[in-house]
Structure 1
Amino acid sequence: MIIVVANQKGGCGKTTTAVNLAGALAARGKDVILVDADPQGSAMKWRSLANGTFPLPVVSIPKPLLDQDLPQLDRKYDYVVADTPPGMEEITRSALVCAHTAIIPMQPSPLDLWSGTDIVGLIRRAEILNPHLRTWLLLNRKIQGTRLGKESFEALKEFPYPILKTEIHQRILLAEAIMHGQTITQVAPDSPSAREFRALSVEIVPEA
């Protein structure tokens, strides 16, 4: 399965989502590879801090060739998780046209919700070539107990794609995991954040 994490807006937590989702799948015993398609190389930098302890392979493909490269990787691994860049439509589209599942992380803020029409338009264009693409919205970086989080969930219902039941909350431990070059399931396997990413992995890839 090819899983693409995408949003045309920066700062919505795509890399954190992609890395920790891939880590949660790997922790379940799945054979996973993470693809860093962002020219900024954030996922590659994350892995470089691990000193050889990162739980899965990471490759850099920051070019609009993903429709060729991801299917080749999909034949070798159980799951391919791709982190795509903001604002670079050609790269993201090349990933979406060969993906099985797209995850769209969105922050609970008016600016993120307003800009959501950009990624919806891009997915619609990708669906012309990939009509079986399954797309999910993910409420990401939510702050516990805020009214804005609840209102944002309601606002997401206006988009033409289903909302994942799992929500990812903003916690300092997620940032600390990056500093250690680890996934959240490595650095704090019993934490609320690790439980959220395990739940996300199961919701996207249910247990057989």
Structure 2
Amino acid sequence: MIIVVANQKGGCGKTTTSMNLAGVFAQRGMEVLLVDADPQGSAMKWRGLSQGAFPVGVIALPMPVLDQELPRLAKKYDLVLVDSPPGMETITRSALVVADLTIVPLQPSPLDLWSGTEIVSLIRRAEQLNRGLVTRLLLNRKIQGTRLSRESVDALQEFPYPLFETAIYQRIALAEAVTAGKTIVDFFPEGPSAGEYKALAEEILSLNLGGTP
């Protein structure tokens, strides 16, 4: 299975989503590879902070050749997750045309919701070559009990893709996990954030995409 985490806007949580989902799937016993396709290399830097063994393989591939490389890598792993860059259409599109699933993280802010039209347009173009591509929206960095978060859920109903039932809430533990060089399920396995990513992984598996074990 190939999953691409994509949004043309920066700062929406693509790397956090990619790395923590990878950690959950690895904990389930899957062979997981994370492809850091962002020239900024945030996932590689996160991996580099680890003081010991890291549960997920991480490689850098910030080039528009993912349509050639990802299918080859997918033969060696149960799951390949791609952390795509903001703004660089050629790289993201090369991943989307061979992906099974696109996850679009969006923060509950007007700027994020407005910028969502750009990634929708890019996904639509990729769908012309990849008819089986499935796309889901993820409400990320949600703040408990705020009107803006509730209104964002309503606004996302206007997008042409469904919203995951699971939302990821903004919590300090997620930032602390990065500085510790760990995914959230290794850093704080019994915490609420780990529970949210586990629930998100269950939703993904229920889609029965690709070669899901």
TM-score range, shorter chain: over 0.9
Match of 1:205 in 2: 205
How far is the alpha carbon of 1:127 from its aligned partner?
0.3
Q: Distance in 1 between matches of 2:72 and 2:52?
A: 25
Amino acid at match of 2:44: M
SS state of the match for residue 129, structure 1?
A: coil
Task: State how 1:1-208 maps to structure 2 within 5 Å.
Answer: 1-206=1-206
Q: Distance in 2 between matches of 1:163 and 1:56?
A: 27
Q: Distance in 2 between matches of 1:164 and 1:6?
A: 15
Amino acid at match of 1:156: L
SS state of the match for residue 168, structure 1?
A: coil
Unaligned runs of 5+ in 1: none
Amino acid at match of 2:24: A
Q: Distance in 2 between matches of 1:54 and 1:145?
A: 35
SS state of the match for residue 186, structure 2?
A: helix
SS state of the match for residue 104, structure 1?
A: strand
How far is the alpha carbon of 1:205 from its aligned partner?
1.3
Q: Once superposed, what is the RMSD of the aligned Cα atoms?
A: 1.0
Q: Distance in 1 between matches of 2:101 and 2:51?
A: 31
Amino acid at match of 2:115: S
Deviating 4+ runs (over 4 angstroms): none
Amino acid at match of 1:115: S
Q: Distance in 2 between matches of 1:46 and 1:197?
A: 18
SS state of the match for residue 164, structure 2?
A: coil
Amino acid at match of 1:73: L
Q: Distance in 1 between matches of 2:155 and 2:54?
A: 37
Give the % identical residues: 66
Q: Distance in 2 between matches of 1:80 and 1:193?
A: 22
Q: Distance in 2 between matches of 1:72 and 1:202?
A: 26
How far is the alpha carbon of 1:31 from its aligned partner?
1.0
How far is the alpha carbon of 1:54 from its aligned partner?
1.3
| TM-score normalised by length of structure 2 | 0.96
SS state of the match for residue 128, structure 2?
A: helix
SS state of the match for residue 205, structure 1?
A: helix
Amino acid at match of 1:26: A
Question: Structure 1, residues 59-107: CA drift from partner, whole Å, max 9, x if none?
Answer: 1100000001110111010000000000000000000000000000000
How far is the alpha carbon of 1:53 from its aligned partner?
2.3
Amino acid at match of 1:105: P
Q: Distance in 2 between matches of 1:205 and 1:178?
A: 25
Q: Distance in 1 between matches of 2:69 and 2:144?
A: 39
Amino acid at match of 1:125: R
Question: Structure 1, residues 17-53: CA drift from partner, whole Å, max 9, x if none?
Answer: 0000111111111111100000000000000000232
SS state of the match for residue 34, structure 1?
A: strand
